Structure 1
Amino acid sequence: MNYPYPCSAQFIYPYPIYYSPVPYIQNDLRTPQTTPLPVINPAFFMESAKTMQRVLEDAQTIVGKIAGSKQFSQQLMSAAQSGKMDAVRKIIYSAGVGQMPRISYNPDGLHLEFTASVHSQACCRLIVVLRWL
């Protein structure tokens, strides 16, 4: 493509460029403010992991029951799609879970949220989403 002006002249900035009379000096002499990290104590972390193992066992129990029993799955889907929350809770409890998850469902599937705490402090959360459509 041929331009009417040479390449260097086609992008002329029409306004004057402002230059600061005082040069800007970046202050690199600052020291970063850091807060000291707490002393490493893995006790709570280990307790959280042990608690999460129990949560995972409960989730595995429910998922295994859904995967292995057509009758259980049909009952659960039927109760959920009918909007019978009490029936859904009873069906999930009958699977043999140690702790009941928070249950919600929609037309697409089932949501189970398992939460646990160690020393009355929330430590673990597992969300299982299973689709049936």
Structure 2
Amino acid sequence: MYYFYHPRYFHSPYAPISYRPVHQRPSVDHRLLQQTPNPSNQNPYPPVDPNYLYQSANETKKLMKDASLVLDRLASSKDFDEKLMNHAQLSESEEVKRLIKSIGITSDVEAVYNPDSLRLEFISHHSNSECCRLSIVLKWR
């Protein structure tokens, strides 16, 4: 009796004694795989509206101005830096936030700190939703 099916075997790295046949995929007609063009030649996505991106970009520019004010103050006053670091070390987060707000920024800011760094996140809200965030991480150790 003759067998026309000859399975191919491979060695398994997990159980070198067991052998399993490798099944071959059926041949595919590549002409059928070509994409047919959209019959109506229309964009399947909704039309774009750049207004929200435009507003978000302008709000982010304001956040960058506030971040620049904070960085200028931190780069120019070691006394301010010492106060900020001391309050952060004592886990007085409200005082840290008050010190940062005392610089004269108008946007909301979140201050997260650890023994190695200070992360400031400037947040802007537009139309009762958060539109953009700007994060700055400063190492202090």
Cα distance in 2, alignment partners of residues 102 and 113 from structure 1: 5
* Match of residue 28, structure 1, among 25, 33, 48: 33
Cα distance in 2, alignment partners of residues 72 and 23 from structure 1: 72
Identity across the alignment (%): 31
Relative to total residues, which structure has the larger strand share, 1 or 2? 2
Root mean square deviation, CA, Å? 2.7
Q: Report 1 or 2 for greater relative contact order, CA contacts < 8 Å, sequence distance ≥ 6.
A: 1
* Counterpart position of 1:88: 96
* TM-score between both structures, scaled by the size of structure 2: 0.70
Q: Is the 8 A contact 2:59 2:124 kept in 1?
A: yes
Q: Which runs of 5 or more structure 1 residues have no equivalent in the other structure? A: 1-14
* Match of residue 113, structure 2, among 102, 105, 113: 105
**1:19 positional shift:** 8.2
* TM-score between both structures, scaled by the size of structure 1: 0.74
How is 1:18-97 mapped onto 2 (pairs within 5 angstroms)? Answer: 23-26=27-30, 27-28=32-33, 31=36, 36-97=44-105
Distance 1:104 1:32, change over 3 A: farther
